[in-house]
Structure 1
């Protein structure tokens, strides 16, 4: 087969096939007497495996997996695949933690601060914690107070007060500092609790889609390895 014959199945260009060949996606390629590359069904399956792997692993990782397989180093290929599944599981756990933290919030809306920003002592008294606790939360990324221009002291505006009240509630519910920090980061990114629900649904959909993509890549790679194992 010519490069264009491989490319046609996937709507690619012949140049893309040559680029993949040069990158190590394919097993060794023979050339005709005139110097043209000659591909076989084995190369066609290698291309299917690479494109499927790319959907779940990304381009560069898929290239590395195929390179490892083509040089006979399947152990390295399996390690790359395992690492992707471990990373997906970690992200899935994080998503579950954020969702659980959202559910742990009480139905009462945290009080809204008005007027001037609060000092560290005022906020500590307001939510019933020690000032050192607020500094620890800041170090963990839970709170992001500003500094007064004249004094340089920490100043806690309405958003900080809200985050501190949420943090206090989650900590009382047994959540770890890293879980609280993750929840508040997601809350800020989403723009509020209502938006966070939509954000979490979208997040779960993305995780499910990547999980399916990893399975599809594994299936095509399995088919490629099966062909490689044949005499």
Structure 2
């Protein structure tokens, strides 16, 4: 190895504000390729290692720590197909998130108003479940979680859902599709209910969309550094 190409852990660390130990840990975790050792056991890094670290840190905001680490390990193993598969999985995940966001945003446009439509009463648990494509037991679970507030028919004692509850059920269904836990959905619905409308949810969707844009940009930046690393490795 030419002496001019030798880099110490501190040299790599300084560029990113890391500790030298963090750089060594990344090598031990397989994120950096193995570094040759000198006569006294000291690690000698090269510009290839420096670019591997740049690629990992650039990939991490878009693909997450585990995803970025898996991509670098595949690159270090020379498995080009695995690298591309992992990158594709990250893009598929953000595309799925965008689809969920669009579904929730679309649901806001079709939510029922606060007053019941003329000529229609509040639906029963079975009717609402059918409308949403869910099992009635799911709606009862949502009630126990505080997501839905049902009324009781004074004559039959059956559950009836007023327009506001139907709105909440539509929102809950979309958020569940997005993978949100019931506790978080209950908080979101409570905010909408307390505010008397869907404004808070619209604000949350705006923040969510901004987050996806930032993540998409980070993916572009990360894959650019990854491409530079792959070229250095001859992949």
Three-state SS of the structure 2 residue aligned to 1:58 is helix
**Is 1:12 aligned to 2:6, yes or no?**
no
Change (3 A) 1:145 1:178: closer
**Is 1:166 aligned to 2:167, yes or no?**
yes
Is the Cα–Cα contact under 8 Å of residues 114 and 164 in structure 2 kept in the other structure?
no
Query: Considering only aligned residues, what root-mean-square deviation do their CA atoms show, in Å?
Result: 3.3
Which whole-Å CA distance do the structure 1 matches of 2:175 and 2:77 have between them? 45
Instruction: Give the CA deviation at 1:126.
Output: 3.0
Three-state SS of the structure 2 residue aligned to 1:195 is helix
- The C-alpha deviation readout for 1:30-77, integer Å capped at 9, x for no partner, is 111000000011110000001011111111111111111101111111
**Is 1:217 aligned to 2:222, yes or no?**
yes
Change (3 A) 1:199 1:69: same
For normalisation by structure 1, the TM-score amounts to 0.75
**Is 1:66 aligned to 2:53, yes or no?**
no
1:108-127 correspondence runs (5 A): 108-110=113-115, 126-127=121-122
5+ long unaligned stretches in structure 1: 112-124, 147-154
Which whole-Å CA distance do the structure 1 matches of 2:185 and 2:10 have between them? 49
Range moving further from structure 2, 64-73 or 133-142? 133-142
Which whole-Å CA distance do the structure 2 matches of 1:53 and 1:41 have between them? 18
For normalisation by structure 2, the TM-score amounts to 0.74
Is the Cα–Cα contact under 8 Å of residues 30 and 73 in structure 2 kept in the other structure?
yes
5+ long unaligned stretches in structure 2: 1-6, 153-160, 193-197
Three-state SS of the structure 1 residue aligned to 2:126 is helix
Q: Out of 90, 109, 112, which is 1:84 matched to? A: 90
**Is 1:43 aligned to 2:43, yes or no?**
no
Which whole-Å CA distance do the structure 2 matches of 1:217 and 1:18 have between them? 21
